[in-house]
Amino acid sequence: MVEELDDLEKQVTKIASIAQKLPEKFQEKGFEILLNALLSGRTPQQVATGGEGKPAALPAAAGKFTIPIDVRAFLQQFNVPEEALSKLFYVHGSEIRPTYKISTTKKAEAQTQIAVLTALESAIVGGKFEFSLEGVRQRCKEHKSYDAPNFAKIFKNRSDLFKSLADEEHIELTPDGKAELAETITELSK
């Protein structure tokens, strides 16, 4: 029993050593993967190959995600650190999912935050800082901040933040809207 524990300790130490050689942001996850492989009885090679003799399929954009230039310019303009994005969205390859939680209880404020964050998400996947009214409506429902009688009115009252309200599929952020987005990112990424 003692010999088995010594062997396990050596293997875990070796896994920790391997994980430390990875870039810092991958160290913890790399350690977890290798440790899980050890505990499940698989070799690191089996983990890397999906249990078969050929390399595991990698996501289409397996490389590091690149933030589009328009988003980088926005972040720089408003002094928002890039790390804030990872606190609001989970990005894997070319896919992105929101992970933020709206903390305000005021539905009008929550709706505005959801709208500008949806525009940011659109810009991250390579588009413009825009959103569709229906998409924001659905997100507001998901976040339990949908105010059905006042939904459209809230956008009209905050028309300084949005341009092209007549085109409900492509509502863009104005410069004031981008400033609001920067404030929202800063608030929610704390």
pLDDT at 41: 65
The model's pTM: 0.65
> What does the pLDDT look like over 87-123, one tens digit per residue?
998 887 778 889 989 888 899 999 999 999 999 999 9
The structural domains of the chain, with segments of one domain joined by +, span 2-48, 69-188
Across the range 148-169, mean pLDDT stands at 89
SS3 91: strand
Q: How far apart are CA 77 and CA 158, in angstroms?
A: 22
> What does the pLDDT look like over 61-88, one tens digit per residue?
344 667 888 999 999 999 999 889 989 9
> What does the pLDDT look like over 169-188, one tens digit per residue?
889 999 999 999 999 999 99
Which band of pLDDT confidence, cut at 50, 70 and 90, is reported for residue 42?
low
pLDDT at 64: 61
For 69-188, CATH number out of 3.40.50, 1.10.10, 3.90.930, 3.10.450 equals 1.10.10
> What does the pLDDT look like over 15-39, one tens digit per residue?
778 878 777 777 777 777 776 776 6
Contacts 24+ apart (CB under 8 A), 67-74: 67/124, 68/123, 68/124, 68/126, 70/123, 70/128, 70/129, 71/120, 71/123, 71/124, 74/123, 74/129, 74/178, 74/181, 74/182
> What is the percentage of the chain residues whose pLDDT exceeds 90?
35
